[in-house]
Chain A
Amino acid sequence: MASPSESDRKIITRFLHKTLHAVVASRVPRLHHAAAAGPASPKNDRWFHLALDDHPSPADHHGAVVDPLVFDILLTRRGCSDVIVERWTARCVPPVPWSAASPHHPHDGSFLRRTYKKCTILLRSIYTLLRLLPVHRIFRLLCSSSQPYNYDLCHKVLSFAAPFSRAQEAELKQYSFAPVETMLGHLVVSVQYRPSLTNFNLEVSLPTPPLIITDYVGSPAADPMRPFPSSLPDRMSHPIVYQYPPRGIRTLAAPSFDRPHSWNSASMVHHHLSSAPGPPDSELLPGHYGHLVPNQRSSMERKGSSGFGEFKLSPPCSTSPSPSPPTRVGNSQLSRLHSETSPVSIPLPATENNQMHRSPNFSDPFKSLFPPPSPRSTRTDLSFRESPSKSISFRKPDGFSLGDIHSNLHMHAAYKVIKDGRDDSGRFSALSSGGSPGYGFSSSSRQSIQDDLDDEDFSYPFAFDDVDTSDSQTRSLDGKEASENSGSHKSQEAAVGILVHMLKTAAPLRQDQSCSMQSLEPNGEASISSSVMSRKACDALEELQSYKEMKNLLLSKSGAKLQDSVKQRKESSEALS
């Protein structure tokens, strides 16, 4: 059995250890996290009936019982020196041996129990005070928040600490607990703390300061008209936009139609000029392209161009007036430019003597804008004829370019004029009287247009609602034209066109219908369809006469049959009688 002094010593030692444990657990976030992350220990420190979480042993009091135990709580800040925000001092002050006031304690267990009880209460007071001091707020922030702060709390355990200076002591407050009397002396616990921490710039620290990107290009949803930053290569900041004819260089401060595409002429201009900087896709003009079409691309002009054999596919041109979002030009864009088709020349206003533009002109920057001309456009050129095989082999562009649309519109209008002219006399007379739709064309051009109409590539004729004419004059005219055409066109496209034309101008079925109606109706009155009404009066009279003759014939036949039947009955009756 331990002596009372040994028990006292043990109580004091355990008390000091427990006090240090309670302070560190309430002040050092690192140890707090370590204790929370670790497994729960089945054996908690139950000394003084205060179960605390297991923490890594901060330090043990290895010195004598009477040696003080000092633990400083330090506030560490980035770039600043550590500051002592709390200093806890716990020690057992031995009584003065020669003092008469030294109490005489009975050597029984009751004193130990009282000592133990008082240490228990003192420890609870220390635990409560730890939560009332200002540093506890910082501890809570550091433990609860996952954000990095520019400060931290740490501790330092000393057996002896240099006293504070007067200036430091002036900034500190002190609280001392009532001493607990033990057989070895008085347990004294005190704390010096800073009553306010507002002087310290305690804030959340950011790992990296925010950076402002000055040359942010932006997303497609951003303002497309924002100029490119100067950090891009010079060739990007000075795009080359081509007009027709190409002139000069335009800056980025352009209207909304200044946005080029990679398939535009400006990109094609510099395609074969490898040394020249390629303009970014967003710098060329879709509107400019649209501007070119009505002036440059007409059916007459297309005939002179024959570069379709060498023409490669190009992406369709957008006819939308709104600019496309800006695209960053990089190596990928340049490589795409270089991999695209070579420029194809646009035919100049066509004349028969102008043969130069009928050959592929790779120097023409606008060749790639338009799809290759149809083979029909070359047929009228007497000096240049495409073989049927070659004309078939040309590849149409994937998309339907504006020029193609425009040329087709021309064809459509021309064809409609002709169709209207071939209709009733009223309409035909209108045409003959000069009521042209505005497309002035001579007889020679009319023939060429007809050739174009017969081309298989021209799909518009099938879209028309043909006004069926059973007029023999119109059929005769069609037949003449067909014969003329068949004589002049030997290509397969022309033959198909002829066939289509014949089908269109074929005789209607109502004549057969009229015959069937006559057989069904013995009265011989044939109904006249609405289409008959459109015919001429003379034709109608002729037909009426033919009907009358038929009627008489039928009547005569029927009358003869009746007479025969009557005779047979008489004979039979006479025979019976």
Chain B
Amino acid sequence: MNCETCQLKELVVEPPEIREVLRCILHTILFHRALGLVRPKDVECELFDITYVQCEDHELEKKIDEKINQFIGWVEKHPNRKSQVCISFYEVKNKHATWFGNKIERFYWEQWYINLHIISPKPHGKSHNTKAHVVTGENAFEESNSRCAALESSLREVLFQIIKFVNEKKDHIPPLQNSEIVSYPYEISTPR
């Protein structure tokens, strides 16, 4: 069984946008991999004009938020860096009982790499001239708007990429072994 890996398109985000972007991507991925009985819930992004779908599972939401907080904490310590958040699906096999204990093996059958380029917001240029300061502020506002629109477009592309991947790659998915919402064990990895 091979492990399918999907490298998502890199997104240039500012620290305040990290949470929204990661929520959108992680929930979309997990919605496609939660093959148990799911009541979908539409969620509209606050920063972008995008609606994504969540599984109505509080445990799942809580776990995702914890990982996002962990990543944001790391970003605060390491600003202006490229980083990745990885979500991996595995199955547990071959519990080998040994003298020293049970050995649990994980076989990852799918990994998703969310590539983020964290940038700090640009401060307004200091100028003693009031007119120049006003012009600088207007330019910064326009730049911010254009950057936000580009991020929204990129995020939409990422979601399309997810849909395409999950539909093209189905054979590697292991068979359902339980009736839980999230049918397959997973883990979300953040930089340390």
CB-based contact A131/B35 at 8 Å: no
CB-based contact A121/B167 at 8 Å: yes
| Chain A 97-132 interface residues, beta-carbon cutoff 8 Å to B | 110, 113-114, 117-118, 120-122, 124-125, 127-129, 131-132
Interface size class of A (residues with CB under 8 A): 20 to 34
| With A121-B167, A121-B170, A128-B159 as contacts: A49 and B49 at CB distance below 8 Å | no
| With A124-B32, A178-B167 as contacts: A132 and B173 at CB distance below 8 Å | no
B31 at the A/B interface (Cβ < 8 Å)?
Answer: yes
Contacts of B150 in A (CB 8 A): none
Interface size class of B (residues with CB under 8 A): 20 to 34
Contacts of B156 in A (CB 8 A): 132
CB-based contact B53/A50 at 8 Å: no
Which of B31, B39, B49, B173 is A124 in contact with, Cβ under 8 Å?
Answer: B31
| Chain B 136-192 interface residues, beta-carbon cutoff 8 Å to A | 156, 159-160, 162-163, 166-168, 170, 173, 175-176
CB-based contact B37/A51 at 8 Å: yes
Contacts of B7 in A (CB 8 A): none
Chain B residue at smallest Cβ distance from A177: B167
A120 to B49, CA, bound (A): 27
Contacts of B32 in A (CB 8 A): 121, 124-125, 128
CB-based contact B38/A49 at 8 Å: yes
CB-based contact B40/A50 at 8 Å: yes
B36 at the A/B interface (Cβ < 8 Å)?
Answer: yes
B70 at the A/B interface (Cβ < 8 Å)?
Answer: no
CB-based contact B167/A51 at 8 Å: no
* Contact residues of A: prevailing secondary structure: helix
B20 at the A/B interface (Cβ < 8 Å)?
Answer: no
A140 at the A/B interface (Cβ < 8 Å)?
Answer: yes
A480 to B177, CA, bound (A): 134
- Give me 4 other A-B pairs in contact (C-beta within 8 A), A50-B40, A120-B35, A129-B163 excluded: A51-B38, A51-B39, A121-B167, A132-B163
| With A51-B39, A117-B35, A127-B53 as contacts: A132 and B159 at CB distance below 8 Å | yes
Contacts of A110 in B (CB 8 A): 175
A90 to B89, CA, bound (A): 30
A46 at the A/B interface (Cβ < 8 Å)?
Answer: yes
A129 to B52, CA, bound (A): 9
B111 at the A/B interface (Cβ < 8 Å)?
Answer: no
Contacts of B5 in A (CB 8 A): none
Q: How far is the CB of A341 from chain B (nearest CB, A)?
A: 73
CB-based contact B42/A131 at 8 Å: yes
A124 to B163, CA, bound (A): 9
CB-based contact B52/A128 at 8 Å: yes
Q: Which 9 A-B pairs have the closest CB atoms?
A: A178-B167, A131-B51, A51-B39, A49-B37, A125-B163, A118-B170, A178-B168, A125-B167, A124-B32
Which of A121, A122, A128 is B53 in contact with, Cβ under 8 Å?
Answer: A128
Q: Give 16 pairs: A residue, B residue, CB < 8 Å, sorted on A.
A: A49-B38, A51-B39, A110-B175, A113-B176, A114-B175, A124-B32, A124-B53, A125-B163, A125-B167, A128-B31, A128-B32, A128-B162, A131-B51, A136-B51, A140-B51, A177-B167
B28 at the A/B interface (Cβ < 8 Å)?
Answer: yes
A51 to B168, CA, bound (A): 24
